[in-house]
C-alpha cells in the first residue's frame, strides 16, 4: 500500500517539486512484524533534513500513524518515506505557502544472497565521484543521480557494492551504504561534512564502539587508509552490516571487531535481518 | 494541457525514478503562436543528456507531435519537457528495460517586469555553491536542489537573479541563466566542464559574436573579472537577454555590445519576448 498525504494512491501531481527538482527528502526504514525499526532516529533525521532544506516538517504523530497503517501486514519489509516540498508553479523559487507532499510506501525485503551477511562481500571502486556541497552533505535528499550513475557501473552479481570517492580523492561511502574501517581498537568512518549521507546504522555503529571498549573516530580517509586497515565493513539500516572481504585486490578477514559490533547490534534489536 | 507518455494527465506513477532520485532531464522551451522556438537545439541537448545518463531517447517525431499538441493554442508561453528514466523497484540500480517517462506540459509566460528587458537588472551573489561533477556538468538534469536553495536566498523583487560560484570560487552562472561579460571586443562566458547548465541561448549568443566582429571565449571567470568587465548580461531561452546594471556595488551600462547582440538575436527570430 502507498499513502499519499494520507490517502491510498499510486500517483503524484505532475507539478510536484520532488519530480521537477528533486526538492525533497527520503527515509528507508526496515520493518519487522509491522514495526518500523529505529523509527525515532529516522524521523529525527527527516526533521533535520527539513530544517536544512526549509521544508515544513510533517506532523510526527500523523506520520507515525500512516507508517503503521502501511506496514501493518508486513512480516519483514521496507517502508520508504518521501517528503517533497510539494507542488508549485514552474521555477526554482519555492512558494512560501508550499504544502509538503508525504509519500509512505511499502517495498518487499531485498533478496540479497545469504552469504553477504555470513561471509561478507566483494566491493569495487566506482569511477563516479560524489560532489562536495556542505549545504547538502549528510542529509538524505532526493538529488541522487551520482548514486544512480555509480550503481550503473557494474552488473556483476559477485560485486555487492561500490565505494565512492569525492572530488578530492577522499573515500566517502558506498552507493547505498556507509563505510567503517578498523585499525587496532579504533573504529574509523569517513567525515561527511562536504558530501555523503549520515546513515542511521552509521550512528548506531558509532555508539556501539565504546560499549565494546573501542574508540570511534570520524576522519578523512583515503584509499591507502583502507589498504592498511585490519577490517572493513559496510552498513545501512536495511542490511545491517556486511563485512568487506575483498576490495581493490586486497583481502580482508571477517574480523573480530566486525563480529563483535554485529553481535552487539543484534542484542539491541536494531537489525532486521536477525 | 499536460501529456504524459502521450496521454493527457495530471499525475505520474509514484515509483517514477524522476521523483525518487531526480533520475532524468528537462527542457524549458518558449512558444510563440503555437511554435516551440529552437526546437532542434532543445531536442539535441535532450538527446545528448540521454546519452550522458544512458536514458533511452524518445522518438523525436513523436516528441515533436506531442509538443505541437500541447502548444497548439498558445500565443506566447512555455513548454516544459521532463524525461525520466521511468518507473522501477526501490534501489539506485536502474532496470535494463526501463521505459522512459515523457512529460510535456504547458506553462504561462512569466510576467517579469518590462524594465528587466529594457533597462536591465540588479543581480546578487548567492551563498549557495554549485558542486563540481564532470559527469553531470552541462546537462539539464533533474537534480536541482542547489538552484532551489540559491533561489530561496532572497525575496527582494528588485533583485532579478543571483549568480552562483562553484566550490573553487569560479563564477559559473545564475540560478536560471547563463552569464556573459564583455571585455573590449571579447565576449566571455564561464567554462562549464565541472558544473553548470550549457544553455541554448548561451550557444546562440556564442554563435552571434563573430557575426558582429566579436571574439567569443569560454574561460574560467572570477568575481574580479566581472568587476573589471565593460558589460555583463544574463541569458536563457525564455528571457533572451537581460543586461546586468548592478552587481556587488558596481554599476554597469546597458552597453553597446549587449545591445548589438540583442538586436542580432531579434533578427534571427530566436527571442520570444520580441
Three cell numbers written together for B65: 507531435
| Among B108, B140, B163, residue at a domain's last position | B108
Nearest partner of B196 among B244, B143, B233, judged by Cα: B143
Domain co-membership, B228 together with B258:
yes
Q: Is residue A62 part of a domain?
A: yes
Q: Band the pLDDT of B246: cuts 50, 70, 90.
A: very high
- The predicted pLDDT at position B41 comes to 98
Cell digits of residue B113: 517586469
A104 domain-assigned: yes
Last residue of a domain, one of A49, A73, A108: A108
In the numeric block, the cell 542484542 is attached to A267
Identify the H or E element spanning B232.
strand B231-236
What total number of domains does chain A contain? 2
B237 lies within 8 A of chain A by CB: no
C-alpha cell at B119: 533597462
Kindly report, residue by residue over B81-133, the tens digit of the pLDDT. Answer: 999 999 999 999 999 889 999 999 999 999 999 999 999 999 999 999 999 99
Instruction: Tell me, yes or no, whether B87 and B120 share the same domain.
Output: no
Residues B105 and B2: beta-carbon distance below 8 Å = yes
Task: Examine residue A181 and state whether it is found in any structural domain, yes or no.
Answer: yes
Which residues constitute the domain of residue B36?
2-108
Residues within 8 A of B (CB atoms), A 47-86 only = 53-54, 78, 80, 82, 84-85
Report, as residue numbers or ranges, the catalytic residues of A.
28, 140, 173
Instruction: Retrieve residue A66's grid coordinates.
Output: 500512516
Same domain for B202 and B118? yes
Domain for residue A274, yes or no? no
pLDDT band at A274 (very low <50, low <70, confident <90, very high): low
Q: Is residue A54 included in any domain, yes or no?
A: yes
Mean pLDDT (chain A) is 97
| Confidence tier at B274 by pLDDT (50, 70, 90) | low
What is the length of chain A? 274
Residues of A in contact with B176 (CB under 8 A): 91-92
DSSP 8-state class, residue A103: E
Residue identified by cell 536591465 is B120
DSSP A220-238: -B-HHHHHT-SEEEEEETT
The pLDDT > 90 percentage for chain A reads 98
* Confidence grade of residue A123 (pLDDT, cut at 50, 70, 90): very high
Looking at the fold, whether B129 and B262 belong to one and the same domain comes out as: yes
Do residues B120 and B217 share a domain? Answer: yes
Does B120 lie in the same domain as B225?
yes
Of B106, B85, B117, nearest to B28 by C-alpha is B106
Give one DSSP letter per residue of B22-58, joined into a string: --EEEEEEEEETTEETTHHHHHHHHHHHHHHHT-PPP
Kindly list the residues from chain B whose CB atom is less than 8 angstroms away from the CB atom of residue A149.
53, 135
Residues in chain B within 8 Å Cβ distance of A103: 14
Strand order in the sheet with A24-32: A7-8, A2-4, A101-108, A76-84, A24-32, A35-36
Of all helices (H) and strands (E), which one includes residue B180? Answer: strand B178-183
Looking at residue B273, what is its pLDDT? 80
Query: Is the residue at B187 inside a domain?
Result: yes
Confirm whether A273 is domain-assigned: no
Helical axes B200-211 vs B256-268, angle rounded to 10°? 110
Domain identity same for B68 and B147: no
Tell whether A54 and A125 lie within a shared domain.
no
The closest of A180, A17, A179 to B82, measured between CA atoms, is A17
Q: CA geometry: angle at B78 spanning B73 and B80, to 5°?
A: 110
Residue B204 scores a pLDDT above 70: yes
Maximal C-alpha separation, chain A: 55
The interface predicted TM-score of the complex, written ipTM, equals 0.97
User: Do B168 and B259 belong together in one domain?
Assistant: yes
Taking an 8 Å cut-off on Cβ atoms, the answer to whether B23 and A144 are in contact is yes
Final residue of a structural domain among A108, A125, A143: A108
CA dist A112 and A133 (Å) reads: 32
Q: Report pLDDT digits (tens) over A45-85.
A: 999 999 999 999 999 999 999 999 999 999 999 999 999 99
Residues A68 and A209: their CA atoms lie apart, in Å, by: 31
Residue B242 belongs to a domain with what CATH number?
A: 3.20.10.10
d(CA A17, CA A168): 31
Q: Residue A178 belongs to what H/E stretch? A: strand A178-183
Long-range contacts of the stretch B260-266 (C-beta < 8 A, 24+) = B260/B212, B261/B187, B261/B205, B261/B208, B261/B209, B261/B212, B261/B233, B264/B208, B264/B211, B264/B212, B265/B204, B265/B205, B265/B208, B265/B240, B265/B241
Say if residue B235 is in the same domain as residue B103: no
Q: Please state the rounded mean pLDDT for residues B36-59.
A: 97
pLDDT of A249: 86
When CB atoms are compared, the residue of A14, A128, A147 closest to B105 is A14
**Range of weakest confidence among A240-254, A260-274, B163-177:** A260-274
Q: What backbone phi and psi angles, to 5 degrees, belong to A217?
A: -135, 140
* Residues B167 and B262 reside in one and the same domain: yes
Q: Assess if residue A249 is contained within a domain.
A: yes
Give mean pLDDT, residues A133-153. 98
Domain shared by B122 and B247, yes or no: yes
Mutate to test the interface with A, among B5, B12, B21 (most CBs of A within 10 A): B21
Residue with cell 499538441: B69
Query: What is the percentage of chain B residues whose pLDDT exceeds 70?
Result: 100
Amino acid at each position: 500500500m502507498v499513502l499519499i498525504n494520507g490517502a491510498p494512491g499510486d500517483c503524484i501531481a505532475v507539478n510536484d517539486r520532488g519530480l521537477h527538482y528533486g526538492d525533497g527528502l527520503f527515509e528507508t526504514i526496515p520493518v519487522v512484524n509491522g514495526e518500523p525499526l529505529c523509527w525515532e532516529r529516522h524521523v529525527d533525521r527527516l526533521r533535520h533534513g527539513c530544517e536544512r532544506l526549509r521544508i515544513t516538517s510533517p506532523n510526527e504523530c500523523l506520520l507515525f500513524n500512516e507508517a503503521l497503517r502501511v506496514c501493518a501486514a508486513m512480516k519483514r519489509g521496507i517502508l520508504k518515506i518521501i517528503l517533497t516540498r510539494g507542488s508549485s508553479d514552474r521555477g526554482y523559487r519555492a512558494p512560501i505557502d508550499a504544502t509538503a507532499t508525504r509519500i509512505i510506501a511499502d517495498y518487499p525485503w531485498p533478496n540479497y544472497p545469504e552469504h553477504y551477511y555470513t561471509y561478507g562481500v566483494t566491493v569495487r571502486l566506482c569511477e563516479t565521484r560524489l560532489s562536495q556541497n556542505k549545504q547538502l552533505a549528510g542529509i538524505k535528499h532526493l538529488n541522487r543521480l551520482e548514486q544512480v550513475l555509480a550503481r550503473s557501473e557494474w552488473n556483476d552479481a559477485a560485486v555487492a557494492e561500490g565505494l565512492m570517492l569525492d572530488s578530492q580523492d577522499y573515500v566517502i561511502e558506498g552507493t547505498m551504504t556507509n563505510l567503517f574501517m578498523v585499525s587496532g581498537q579504533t573504529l574509523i568512518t569517513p567525515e561527511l561534512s562536504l558530501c555523503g549521507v549520515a546513515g542511521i546504522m552509521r550512528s548506531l555503529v558509532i555508539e556501539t564502539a565504546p560499549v565494546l571498549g573501542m574508540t570511534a573516530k570520524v576522519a578523512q580517509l583515503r584509499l591507502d587508509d583502507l589498504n592498511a586497515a585490519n577490517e572493513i565493513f559496510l552498513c545501512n539500516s536495511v542490511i545491517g552490516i556486511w563485512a568487506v572481504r575483498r576490495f581493490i585486490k586486497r583481502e580482508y578477514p571477517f574480523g573480530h571487531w566486525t563480529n563483535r559490533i554485529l553481535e552487539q547490534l543484534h542484542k539491541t534489536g536494531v537489525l532486521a535481518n536477525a
